Amino acid sequence: MEITHIPPLILIILVILLVILRYGFEKLVSRFFKLVSLKRTSPQIFVRAIILILFNLLVLAVFGLLKPEIFSFSEPQTGLIILTVGLGIAVLVALLSLLAIKAGYGKGYESLAAVSRLDKDFTLATFALLSGPSEDIFFIGFIQNSLIPSLGWVAIIIYLVLFIAYHYANVLSGVETKQEFLGTLPVRLIVACLLGVSFYLTQTLVWGIIVHNLVDTLSYLVLLGVNSKKPQIKLNDAI
């Protein structure tokens, strides 16, 4: 299906329906792991991220958006600027995470309890390699990418709205509380905005994915350091 031939209004409706479909698919995968009696461990989350990446790539392929250029290192000068800004944001987010943990916030996040060395390794691998692709290939590579030809920069705003709405569904489903959602909202918006602008300027997902992975990885490393003497590590479900 050629996405550029679809009228803008119909395209937006289609995008919203696919967001709902992806959310349902993600919950179905989680439900499957429950049915086969697999706990929500770090290896399971690693596998779930890979499944979501495959789903994302399938959506891009169906709509003719799976092209080599969106995974290229195009516009290296702009990319370097994005990486520099992203590194600064990642450090800032890590520091804010440190302050939040010391203040006692985020105690309700228990989905990634990295107790063993294996858990820690899988969690770190998920953040360092998969957290960006598991979200950005769909939300930017499909949603924003499909809307840019007809809506231009407005596609970034639509992507941001749908991205935040998708994560708010975690509140409705009980994955996180409203307070926890609002607490992470500013960071999510800042990072998501940078990723959207990155793709708009460079037409590649690579720079944004690197930044996304960097933000999550640094935050997790801070959490590991703070909780190194505790029996359990608690972390926000970032993917």
Tell whether 238 is covered by a domain: no
- What is d(CA 40, CA 213) in angstroms, rounded to the nearest whole number? 21
Quick one: pLDDT band at residue 109, thresholds 50, 70, 90? very low
Answer yes or no: are the C-beta atoms of 194 and 61 closer than 8 Å.
no
Tell whether 24 is covered by a domain: yes
Total of domains in the chain: 1
- Please tell me which residue, 181 or 230, carries the higher pLDDT value: 181
Tell whether 1 is covered by a domain: no
Tell whether 234 is covered by a domain: no
Least confident residue range of 41-45, 147-151, 228-232: 228-232
- What is d(CA 120, CA 158) in angstroms, rounded to the nearest whole number? 35
Least confident residue range of 6-10, 100-104, 128-132, 135-139: 100-104
Which positions ≥6 away from 141 have C-beta within 8 Å? Answer: 56, 60, 65, 70, 199, 205
| pLDDT greater than 80 at residue 104 | no
- What is d(CA 192, CA 114) in angstroms, rounded to the nearest whole number? 26
Integer CA distances (angstroms), 2 to 64, 87, 94, 146, in order: 6, 36, 41, 10
Its domain, for residue 112, covers 8-228
Integer CA distances (angstroms), 100 to 67, 128, 175, 218, 221, in order: 40, 22, 19, 15, 14
Containing H/E element for 128?
none
Integer CA distances (angstroms), 163 to 44, 185, 239, in order: 23, 11, 12
Tell whether 127 is covered by a domain: yes
Tell whether 95 is covered by a domain: yes
Answer yes or no: are the C-beta atoms of 111 and 223 closer than 8 Å.
no
Q: Which amino acid is at 157?
A: I
Quick one: pLDDT band at residue 105, thresholds 50, 70, 90? low
- What is d(CA 52, CA 28) in angstroms, rounded to the nearest whole number? 11
Q: What is the mean pLDDT of the chain?
A: 86
Answer yes or no: are the C-beta atoms of 104 and 230 closer than 8 Å.
no
Tell whether 233 is covered by a domain: no
| pLDDT greater than 90 at residue 128 | yes
